[in-house]
Amino acid sequence: MRTRALKVLLVEDNAGDARLLREMFTTERPGSIELTHLMRMSEALAHLAKGGVDIVLLDMGLPDGHGLDTVRRARAVAPDIPLIVLTGLDDEALAAEAMKEGAQDYLIKGQIENRALPRALRHAIERHRMQAETDHIRMSQLQFKDEFLSHVSHELRSPLTAIYQFVTILQDGLAGEVNLEQHQHLEIVLRNVKQLRAMINDLLEVTSLQAGKLLIRLQRTSASDAIAYAVDTLQGSARDKGITLDFEIEGRLPDVWADPTRIRQILIILVDNAIKFTPSHGTIKVKGRRLEAGSGVVVIEVADSGCGISAEKTELIFERLFQVSDPAMAARKGLGLGLYICKELVSRQGGKIWATSVPGEGSTFSITVPVFSLPNLLAPAFRKDNYGEIQITLVLTELGSRSGWLSDKVRAEYSYWMRDALQGCLNSKLDVLLPKMGSSEASELFFVAAVTDEIGGEAITKRIREKLHRSDEILQADLTFSTCYWTLAPVQRNADESMESFVEKVAAKIQESIDERNSSRMVKI
């Protein structure tokens, strides 16, 4: 059987080294190796991008590429092509690093035996192939597991629904009188239905967490409301167990940047756990406070007077499937996924979670949530996948209007603050905006409107959008704005002015601003 020629790309700027390597291939059967020799990283990358290469022999010291960077760049262009690095005698440590970056092997120049080179190439290719195969199998197994769990969880819901329905039908006497003992037995069935349902929900949650399918919608939201909601929701279960459950908010808690549903979910898991591990007549307190004055973080604590956790377990409890071994405490069963879900949800919203505890006295679970800030709000508009979709971004900021609306001094401070906030966005990982702003082809408009009011900004944004939508001028034009952003001069709301008229005023200002910039262009919202 005749095998096709092995296509080798040699990237080496030293002519002597290249000649030596080339000679090593001459012992091979003619036509079995097809060698391409390039001297520059840039040429190599262009060649790799075209495809058709079986293996790369890469020198790590090129005129236009050095060290690990060469490996990374080559891997970025051709992640699926095996790569062997060529190094000098002193660079073995570097070569080892290169293998961490994805190189299959390294060869030390001057120490390569004649016949070993072709063999090294074939082995590298084979290793690479096996690695790829293992990865593929692993991926499909993981995917199967996710699909399986998701499917099973869904399918479990129907029978569970039927059980719930008929137990409650019996309990409510819809099918005839039940005596006290029967009623109690049905109560036990119902309790187990609830547990089963909680487990199925946990299972689904973990599946979507791991499959990266969990939706987290970050927005400006009230941490105080979430705390009150969780406490309110579980007040009944606490009361049933004779536990005092309440909350305490320190000062005026700033709004946070989080998914309101998820924050409630986290707090409900934590409070529910606290109830589980707190004996009757115990207390549970949920506290919200700012980490430090002016810090960008809100801390929410759930403190109980329960059995506590030993020090070595305060980290373990956040692991998947961790369960309390004390049988007395395991009265309410679960899958051991609650705290794991909490940890994942908290960290995906940019926060941290930890526990402190004194065994016998109680535990405190704390989470942090980022405080809402302008960069948070602007970030999505700058995100690459949104980029190009968003023709106009209305960004609303709120400044407390209690002090009466802005004096010149405040106004100056405000514009600095706005600039800093924007820079905060631009300097972070989301550096896609700056290059785009310099480009003449960009067709997006970023718009920053500053509005001051205590009452929710969302309503105002909505109204402004609606208003702009109705504007024929805007809808009929057929061009888009070139990229720019500017700050709208703050619009004053008089003390006796209605929200309605205030919104009108802001919208008019925006319209004016748009007209000023370009009367014949269009803004899509």
For another protein, the closer of residues 78 and 198 by Cβ is 198
List, in sequence order, every residue forming a beta bridge with 356; answer none if it has no partner: 364
CB 165, min distance to another protein, A: 3
| Interface residue with another protein, options 11, 269, 335, 367 (CB under 8 A) | 269
The token pair that represents 273 in the structure block: 């756990």
For another protein, the closer of residues 126 and 240 by Cβ is 240
| Interface residue with another protein, options 158, 179, 325, 440 (CB under 8 A) | 158
Stretch that binds another protein, among 65-73, 161-169, 400-408, 496-504 (CB under 8 A): 161-169
For another protein, the closer of residues 155 and 458 by Cβ is 155
Size of the site for another protein (CB under 8 A): 36
Q: Helices (H) and strands (E) in the chain — how many of each?
A: 15, 16
Contacts of residue 403, Cβ cutoff 8 Å, sequence gap at least 6: 410
| Interface residue with another protein, options 36, 208, 314, 461 (CB under 8 A) | 208
Stretch that binds another protein, among 193-201, 477-485, 492-500, 503-511 (CB under 8 A): 193-201
Compute how many other C-beta atoms are within 10 angstroms of the C-beta atom of residue 405. Answer: 18
List, in sequence order, every residue forming a beta bridge with 151; answer none if it has no partner: none
Alpha-carbon distance 40 to 38, whole Å?
6
| Interface residue with another protein, options 46, 142, 152, 162 (CB under 8 A) | 162
Could you tell me which of 423, 514, 429, 509 has the C-alpha nearest to residue 474? 514
**Contact between 54 and another protein per CB under 8 A:** no
Alpha-carbon distance 354 to 358, whole Å?
14
| Interface residue with another protein, options 31, 52, 63, 159 (CB under 8 A) | 159
**Contact between 268 and another protein per CB under 8 A:** yes
Contacts of residue 15, Cβ cutoff 8 Å, sequence gap at least 6: none
Stretch that binds another protein, among 104-112, 188-196, 401-409, 439-447 (CB under 8 A): 188-196
**Contact between 165 and another protein per CB under 8 A:** yes
| Interface residue with another protein, options 21, 39, 81, 198 (CB under 8 A) | 198
Q: Which long-range contacts (CB under 8 A, 24 or more apart) does 381-387 make?
A: 381/446, 382/425, 382/426, 382/430, 382/432, 382/433, 383/430, 383/432, 384/432, 387/432, 387/436, 387/444
- Among positions 137-156, residues that touch another protein (CB under 8 A) are 153-156
Contacts of residue 392, Cβ cutoff 8 Å, sequence gap at least 6: 444, 445, 446, 447, 481, 523, 524, 525
- CB environment 262-301: b (16+ within 10 A), e (fewer): bbbbbbbbbbbbbbbbbeeebbbbbbbebeeeeebbbbbb
For another protein, the closer of residues 188 and 489 by Cβ is 188
User: What's the Cα-to-Cα distance from 8 to each of 17, 29, 114, 276, 405, rounded to whole Å?
Assistant: 16, 15, 16, 64, 71
CA 151 to chain centroid, in Å, comes to 25
Stretch that binds another protein, among 201-209, 346-354, 388-396, 407-415 (CB under 8 A): 201-209
**Contact between 485 and another protein per CB under 8 A:** no
DSSP state of 7: E
Alpha-carbon distance 57 to 479, whole Å?
50
Stretch that binds another protein, among 33-41, 268-276, 358-366, 514-522 (CB under 8 A): 268-276
CB 45, min distance to another protein, A: 39
For another protein, the closer of residues 96 and 162 by Cβ is 162
Helix (H) or strand (E) holding 468: helix 457-470
**Contact between 157 and another protein per CB under 8 A:** yes
| Interface residue with another protein, options 91, 272, 304, 398 (CB under 8 A) | 272
| Interface residue with another protein, options 93, 180, 215, 293 (CB under 8 A) | 215
Binding site for another protein (CB under 8 A): 153-162, 164-166, 168-169, 171-172, 174-175, 190, 193-194, 197-198, 201, 204, 208, 213, 215, 233, 236-237, 265, 268-269, 272
